[in-house]
Amino acid sequence: MSSVTRTAPMLSDGKMFPVTIFVLIANAVASKVLAAFAEHGPVAALVGGLGLSWAFWLSFALCIRLALIEEDRAPRPRDLWVCGACLLAALIPISQVSALACTALALVLLLDRTRGVALKAAAWILLAISVQLLWSRLTMLLFVGPIAALDAHLVSLLTQTPVQGNTVQFADGARGGMSILGACTSVQNASVALMLFVAIVRTFRPAPVRSEIYLLIGLFLSVVVINVVRLALMAQSMAMFRLVHGDVGGGVTNGIITADALLWAVISVRREIFD
């Protein structure tokens, strides 16, 4: 019998999977947290969500909570190998590797029909977190040009100013223009909202239902509208750009997108909450 198999009686998957999830996510975001402390100081870093967002940290906490309430049982040898591989991935000092391992672990848990509803719910949140950490950013790397250009043209429809590629002219006629970069696109902002939606809904209703698809589409479109309005305000003038794009404006925007995601989530699980 291998040493991994002999270790099984000492463990339970009710402890093993939460620890693995925690280590993977912590390693995936550690560089952002440290950079936030170094750049802004402790107080500003905490207020700003430690380099991410408070929607992310709430989703993280709900994911771990659901994994912890899964019924304990002796892990199978393949569970030990899966968690061992994920922990080895966490040792690699590249955040994207841990985020990729989050995706792999989530899919393994979701495809395993023997898993309980709580752990599968945690796996859905883990998958949404990995989309926000890795896949939305990879999408931006591959398609940032057309996505940013689409946002720019939508902004141009509101401001009635010329647009070229991903650059919109300021409405006050100032020289130059506002270039829309990857971090300001609707896709990047929508990934945060979708992650929070999944976290809240899976907490109150562990098993997915078909109606969630329509609500997710509605949430995505609402975030696009919010982001385009924000960009249109920024495109009014350089002074407005600095205000909306600064810490205060960014905080307000994040708050609006978070509230939007919470609203759609509450609509989805209103019966579970209020009945």
Domain membership of residue 60 as a residue range: 3-274
Nearest C-alpha neighbor of 151 from the set 129, 169, 167, 140: 167
Strand partners of residue 177: 169
| 115 has a pLDDT exceeding 50 | yes
> Residues of the chain with pLDDT > 90: what percent?
32
What pLDDT does 13 receive? 55
Give the total number of structural domains in the chain.
1
What pLDDT does 262 receive? 93
What pLDDT does 1 receive? 39
DSSP, res 162: -
Cα–Cα distance, 133 to 31 (Å, whole number): 12
| 3 has a pLDDT exceeding 50 | no
224 close to 218: Cβ distance less than 8 angstroms: no
Cα–Cα distance, 258 to 148 (Å, whole number): 22
Task: Determine the distance from the C-alpha atom of residue 167 to the mean position of all C-alpha atoms in its chain, rounded to a whole number.
Answer: 27
What confidence category does residue 127 fall into, taking pLDDT thresholds of 50, 70 and 90? Answer: very high
What pLDDT does 261 receive? 92
| 224 has a pLDDT exceeding 60 | yes
What confidence category does residue 200 fall into, taking pLDDT thresholds of 50, 70 and 90? Answer: very high
